[in-house]
Amino acid sequence: MLVKKMQTQVQELDGKEVAIQGWVRTNRASKNIGFIVINDGSCFSNVQVVYEASLENFKEIGKITLGSAVEVKGVFVATPDGKQPFEIHAQSVEVLGACDHDYPIQKKRHTYEYMREIPHVRPRANSYYAMFRLRSVLSMAIHTFFQDRGFVYIHTPIITGNDAEGAGECFTVTTRKDDKYDEDFFGKHAQLTVSGQLHVEPFALTYRNVYTFGPTFRAENSNTTRHASEFWMIEPELAFADLADDMDCIEEMIKFCINYCLEHAAEEMAFFEKFVDKDCINRVKHVANSHFARMTYSEGIEHLLKAKDQFENQDIFWGMDLQSEHERYLCEKVVNGPVFLTDYPKDIKAFYMRVNEDNKTVAACDLLVPYVGELVGGSQREERYDVLVAKMQEMGMDQSTLQWYLDLRRFGGCKHSGFGLGFDRMLMYLSGMQNIRDVQPYPRTPRNLIF
């Protein structure tokens, strides 16, 4: 459909005068003719401009450097037999912004490490150019999925007085040099949010189905390829839904997003398939068409015990927090695809998760996927006031800052569930990009904050 539309547009434009602005990707000239390849920002493909010696500034055009901003006026020529569907025969080429010779991107392959040092120009390199558009397309996929299903988008606060996950890995927000928070800007300790979940739950008990989608911040000192200190998270919350409903929603959302990106970022995905991960399109297509496996944590431990010798950490026991090598073993070796691990021991999960009948496990799920590990974390929430209070006391939590959260259990509270999808990890999963630093425009990680 899209190709057909493009063909008619190309035919309609054939012979017409056009003007384009963009940035030079390559420029080469011989005695009588030259070629500038330009990207105008509208799509992944570049356009080739042909310029001839008859132009009065032919010599100067030949010297235009890579990275320069230019305007080309000329004639659109359809080239159905050529490599590209069309080219532009220049009548004039004007430099709008020259690019100095120390432009850090040259026509060769640069390492990702090198590119991370120059976040102000790296979007113009192919891998990043493709990634940051995919990022935009995936955002739209998320909104489309939830809006089409009647979910209400809630803007939860970035500055908060609660540590939702209770893990204590938060960045303090202060205007003071000391730590007298009583005298601080808000008159109390404030921090950047680690999760919008607690703040979105009241809205689920109003609109039934809601979601947040925004930046979250974690001061975990884990220097891995999958952890960032600032990352985006989608957190839906569904009233009158249990854990099974929650997992159905996760599965449907992931599949929708895959199909949406394959359709709306086809050129970008084709690029990733060619240059980043040969298997990425096949892999995600397969995922979009298969049923996600579901396995309890206890079953997972059984599998791990049998394969104990393969791990660096061989201390496998019921009640342990799984490490990434264990999670990857389960999805890559046991299931060979995405798997929901459910019903974790209550002691290794957050306070708000609903305690199961066995009084040992909680109604939680993590979605584990090959290469990335944990992509989604979700749970049914504890809706029983007394059980929740007891749990908080057991965990030594300060009840006073969360009385409002407890009150929700007294003011028409009901069964409800939700989850958090790591947006940046989803991008890694789609593209096959190996490091979270290469899917974020300005990555923030321990000891690293460029610009």
Q: Does 439 bind ligand 4AD (CB under 6 A)?
A: no
Q: Does 127 bind ligand 4AD (CB under 6 A)?
A: no
Among Mg ion, ligand 4AD, none, residue 375 binds (CB under 5-8 Å by kind):
ligand 4AD
Interaction residues for ligand 4AD, span 167-196 (CB under 6 A): 195
Among ligand 4AD, Mg ion, none, residue 443 binds (CB under 5-8 Å by kind):
none
- Closest to Mg ion by CB, 22 vs 377, is 377
CA separation for the pair 8, 278 (Å, rounded): 32
Shortest distance (Å) from residue 350 CB to ligand 4AD: 7
Q: Does 377 bind Mg ion (CB under 5 A)?
A: yes
CA separation for the pair 391, 353 (Å, rounded): 10
**Binding window for Mg ion (CB under 5 A); candidates: 110-118, 254-262, 313-321, 370-378:** 370-378
Helix (H) or strand (E) holding 416, with range, is: strand 416-422
DSSP state of 310: G
Q: Does 416 bind ligand 4AD (CB under 6 A)?
A: no
CA distances from 266 to 96, 173, 262, 319, 428 (A): 31, 41, 5, 43, 16
- Closest to ligand 4AD by CB, 281 vs 368, is 368
Q: Does 354 bind ligand 4AD (CB under 6 A)?
A: no
Which residues partner with 340 through β-bridges?
Answer: 294, 367
Shortest distance (Å) from residue 109 CB to ligand 4AD: 27
Among Mg ion, ligand 4AD, none, residue 418 binds (CB under 5-8 Å by kind):
ligand 4AD
Answer for which of 22, 74, 422, 432 binds ligand 4AD (CB under 6 A) is 422
Helix (H) or strand (E) holding 76, with range, is: strand 69-78
Q: Which two tokens stand for residue 449?
A: 């904050």
For 44, residues 6+ apart whose C-beta sits below 8 A from its C-beta are 129, 130, 133, 267, 268, 271
Q: Does 374 bind ligand 4AD (CB under 6 A)?
A: yes
Residue owning tokens 């305690």: 355
CA distances from 311 to 285, 323, 328, 332, 366 (A): 30, 10, 11, 14, 21
> E-strand spans in 197-265?
209-217, 230-239
Q: Does 373 bind Mg ion (CB under 5 A)?
A: no
Shortest distance (Å) from residue 201 CB to ligand 4AD: 9
Question: Which residues are at the interface with ligand 4AD (CB under 6 A)?
Answer: 164-165, 195, 197, 218, 220, 227-228, 231, 233, 235, 374-379, 418-420, 422, 424-425, 436
Question: Which residues are at the interface with Mg ion (CB under 5 A)?
Answer: 377
